[in-house]
Amino acid sequence: MAPHAEESMVSGNAGGSAASTGDLFKVNSPNVEYTNGEIKSKYTYRTTSVKRDGNGKFTATPKETLYDFKTDRKVPKTGMMLVGLGGNNGTTVTAGIIANKRGLVWDTREGKRAANYYGSVVMGSTIKLGTEAETGKEVNVPFHDMLPMVHPNDLVIGGWDISGMNLAEAMDRAQVLEPSLKSQVYKEMATMKPLPSIYYPDFIAANQEDRADNLVPGRKACMAHVEKIRQDIREFKAANNLDKVIVQWTANTERYADLIEGVNDTAENLLKAIENGHAEVAPSTVFAVACILENAPFINGSPQNTFVPGCIDLAEKHGAFLGGDDFKSGQTKMKSAMVEFLVNAGIKLTSISSYNHLGNNDGKNLSSQKQFRSKEISKSNVVDDMVAANSVLYKKDEHPDHCVVIKYMPAVGDNKRALDEYYAEIFLGGHQMISIFNMCEDSLLASPLIIDLVLICEMMTRIQWRAAGKADYAGFHSVLSVLSYMLKAPLTPPGTPVVNALNKQRAALTNIFRACVGLEPENDMTLEHKLF
């Protein structure tokens, strides 16, 4: 039976009253049409096509393609189901949404603090709309008001966990939040208990087994597990009268699954492998398959290879949305920004050394070598596209040395310590070394990303587009690369380049939202201020 609503989730404001209506501004253009139900826009996408001749010379040809965008203005009642609801991230994001919804204020050693959504791109940042006609000053609007979006206060929260501890006790176990805040949300959190989850011991560290007391029977993949997850989603959706459910993996890092021809290379083979209980089908992949079949978008916030080729193939066949991999919060986001800055400045980065001390359960799980290897891969590849883009500094196949070390230090708790050393070659054989010590409260950085991923993913389900002149609109590709800004190892559609450069990721997100309301990208040339 499905748990009672009051025992399994946090309910949002009735009717989504806090949602953005997208009415803060209107675009005055013949290319934009507003109706009660939709925003329709015509958008000219300008790119440059480049051809190389036999002598290594280039010919660049500007191209223009006209697209039509259609955005559904109705903000749906949305549920967020987390795999790992009772973990550090799950309890922190749940307590945070409760605190924001209730407008809580609590005492700390530094004084009173109030609930906020700092760290969320959607809720805490702005987008340049344009320049004010009278003064020439920039006009910036909240990101959340660019389009009609779900407000996090309105999310209905539920999910699964291998630990059956109620969320109040799990919040205590996580040791993330101030006691004065916990006391105000404790009663509500105590009524919430995760749904039983699936547990395949070979995929996570053995040191997690003592937490595994809330399990669906069976320790290997099977279609019964897929159907149980689908049933949980359906019952959660019905019990809370939801229009949509977004599912997100914020549970333990798994080991990499071996990619085997005939097992997980196609949709058909993957489904057959699940039916046969194959040892190389991970729990996260079973969740992804269940979500695809249930048409619930699934986001992977851990570094393992959940989305094996067969999983992506299945999503494409069903037109379902996937996003991943691995939350990009503290150290890796800094690394993306620093490498992009150095390489764009013409400074040749020659080595990066990254050391991490982490004391929460994530660190405990990562003390196992197979799980650490998944994290090492996601942390190590974040500079590849920026290096490849600069053929002046780096010859073909040349790459900075890159070392990643993670050590489990229980005393540190959720306050992760990260030390990065960047060593670079500068003018006339000189050298520059930059060291950054980053202490970040891990779950307080990750929780706003969980919110962003859900809100943006939901928004993308309401945007359709087509090439001008085509009869039918279509949604975006099943792999939502637009989520890359929040993810360490961005998943992209097969055959498309991976972009890790932080500014490019943010620009892609911003400019898609602008296109939906018929606005060109801001080019920042400021020609309106140049006097001739």
Active-site residue numbers? Answer: 326, 375, 416, 488
CA pseudo-torsion sign 203, 207, 208, 212 = positive
Nearest to 189 by CA among 97, 81, 114, 113: 97
Give the DSSP H/E element, type plus range, for residue 444. helix 442-460
Nearest to 492 by CA among 504, 143, 284: 504
Alpha-carbon gap, residue 121 to 86, rounded angstroms = 24
Alpha-carbon gap, residue 478 to 317, rounded angstroms = 9
In the numeric block, the tokens 């290594």 are attached to 56
Alpha-carbon gap, residue 114 to 106, rounded angstroms = 7
Nearest to 485 by CA among 328, 272, 307: 328
> From residue 32, how far is each of 70, 139, 494, 514, 517 by CA, in Å?
10, 20, 32, 11, 7
Q: What residues contact residue 379 under an 8 Å CB cut-off, 6+ apart?
A: 303, 331, 332, 335, 354, 404, 488
- For 128-173, the DSSP string reads EEEE-TTT--EEEEEGGGSS----GGG-EEEEEESS---HHHHHHH
Task: Judge whether 151 and 122 are in contact, CB under 8 Å.
Answer: no
Give the DSSP H/E element, type plus range, for residue 385. helix 384-388
Task: Judge whether 340 and 387 are in contact, CB under 8 Å.
Answer: no
Question: Residues of 270-301 as b/e, b for ≥16 C-beta within 10 angstroms?
Answer: bbebbeeebbbbbbbbbbbbbbbbbebbbbbb
Give the DSSP H/E element, type plus range, for residue 458. helix 442-460
The three-state secondary structure class of 43 is: strand
Phi, psi of 85 (to 5 degrees): -60, -35
Task: Judge whether 438 and 420 are in contact, CB under 8 Å.
Answer: yes
Alpha-carbon gap, residue 300 to 479, rounded angstroms = 12
How many Cα atoms are found within 13 Å in the side-chain-facing hemisphere of 325?
Answer: 25
